[in-house]
Amino acid sequence: MAQTIEENVQRLLDEKGWTIYQLGKKSEVSLTVLYGLGSKRQGPRVETLIKLADTFGVTLDELVRGKGEFGCQPPI
């Protein structure tokens, strides 16, 4: 099962050695939004996901699904 976006953001922060404050400055996403990534019932807006993926230098797929979770699932 794919990790949550919040977990993926934390993993990418750790890989880059960044703080959440640095991510906010680099991505121009507010700290309020970043701290709320895992708490929103509907999840983050697409525009936020694009900014974060661009800042980290990853695809939206990696940001949302996680590393190694690419591609379609086989039919059941």
Interior/surface letters 10-47, b for 16+ CB within 10 angstroms, e for the rest:
eebbeeeebeeeebbeebebeeebbeebeeeeeebeee
Q: How far apart are CA 38 and CA 42, in angstroms?
A: 10
How confident is the model over 10-67, as pLDDT tens digits? Answer: 999 999 999 999 999 999 999 999 998 877 677 889 999 999 999 999 999 999 988 7
pTM: 0.82
pLDDT at 1: 30
Domains of the chain: 5-65 (1.10.260.40)
